[in-house]
Amino acid sequence: MSNRKPRPTQSGRVTLSEIAERVGTSSITVSRVLNAPHLVSEDLRKQIETAIAELGYLPNRAARALARARSDSVAVLIPSLSNTVFTQLLEGVRDVLHAAGYRTLIGDTRYSPEEEESLLRAYLEHSPDGILVTGFEQTDTTRQLLKASRVPVVHMMELSDSAAYSVGLEQFDAGRAITSHLLSRGYRRIGFLGAQLDPRVMERLAGHRAALHDAGLTYPIGEVLDPRPSSIGMGVGLLDRLLQQAPDCDAVFCCNDDLAHGVLFECQRRGIRVPQQLAVAGFNDLAASAWTCPALTTIATPRYDIGHASASMLLQLMRGETPEPTKIDLGFSLVMREST
């Protein structure tokens, strides 16, 4: 192995030619070690790997992506990295994409279409091979960027009647199902607590209203809506507002389980018996919902499966295949527990 010190490049990055010079071989051979090591003899491969480690070589992914017309990366845009719903969605995405050799560029949009647009602009500079986005609430500019990029896109969590590829569930039907359950248990003065107020929450609210209308209850007993992020503490505050607005409320549908957990805690503090005085239902079936006291009735949503199926559909698109169907409804299930 040569002891000559490599000449610094203008960018400061170690190049393949510098590694080749150190070992006394060609740049092509060094490239083979990086991309097809089985084509290089074991002795020479070890020398090159040692030189790579000593010189601190880092592959230029941008250059490789340009040469190969692919980046081996996928941009994934989700509304929150702290919400369990989306961390489980990401687990499904990662299990598929990482097994296929793709890196994920994960962006937290904070439920902001404008932030989503900004993140998309940044990620498109990395030439992703595919894009996963949450829902359909994009800005006009984001839609134009997605179209102009000609990169395969799959929408997660929500479904569309358009030609867009999507994997999720019918939020409207799920909202109607939980309220229909409350009605079937004899509750008639059913309130609704909503936070975040993203399109999925508003679809659940629309389903709730439809169930009340079908039962001849045109005017809801009470709705308390707050655009701030959902939390247990917010559930406490929203229940207080609901009971001031509709003190004779006999049931409440919370748009998320964490709100419902807060409602249960506040009911215990106030001595309100659940479900005898107030039935409580949630949405998403978070892990703790089976262990609250009483255990929470809720809608179970297949977050991991949605992530897994979305990434699998995107893989097909990136391979030039045409997925069938273009819309996958993974459904939901009503989990009836003690709180109703």
**Cα–Cα distances in angstroms (integers) from residue 235 to residues 52, 188, 338, in the given order:** 55, 21, 19
Above 60 in pLDDT, residue 249? yes
Domain ranges of the chain: 16-59, 71-169+304-331, 171-300
What's the CATH number of domain 171-300, 3.40.50.2300, 3.40.640.10, 3.40.190.150, 3.90.1750.10? 3.40.50.2300
Task: Judge if 71-169+304-331 and 171-300 fold alike in CATH terms.
Answer: yes
Strand order in the sheet with 251-254: 222-226, 190-195, 251-254, 279-281
pLDDT band at 6, cuts 50/70/90?
A: very low
* Structure confidence by residue, pLDDT tens digits, 22-50: 999 998 898 888 877 888 899 999 999 89
Between residues 60 and 248, the one the model is more confident about: 248
* Structure confidence by residue, pLDDT tens digits, 81-123: 999 999 999 999 999 999 999 999 999 999 999 999 999 999 9
Mean pLDDT on 233-241: 97
The whole-number pLDDT of residue 8 equals 46
What percent of the chain is predicted at pLDDT more than 70?
92
The whole-number pLDDT of residue 219 equals 66
Looking at 19-28, 31-40, 139-148, 197-206, which range is the least confident one? Answer: 31-40
The C-alpha atoms of residue 83 and residue 198 are separated, in whole angstroms, by: 14
CATH topology of domain 71-169+304-331: Rossmann fold (3.40.50)
The C-alpha atoms of residue 220 and residue 250 are separated, in whole angstroms, by: 12
CA-wise closest residue to 296 among 264, 329, 319: 264
Number of C-alpha atoms within 13 angstroms, CB side, residue 309? 23
* Structure confidence by residue, pLDDT tens digits, 251-297: 999 999 999 999 999 999 999 999 999 999 999 999 999 999 999 99
Between residues 230 and 67, the one the model is more confident about: 230
The C-alpha atoms of residue 269 and residue 96 are separated, in whole angstroms, by: 45
Length of the chain equals 340
What DSSP string describes 30-54? Answer: HHHHHH-GGGS-HHHHHHHHHHHHH
CATH architecture of 16-59: Orthogonal Bundle (1.10)
What percent of the chain is predicted at pLDDT more than 90?
79
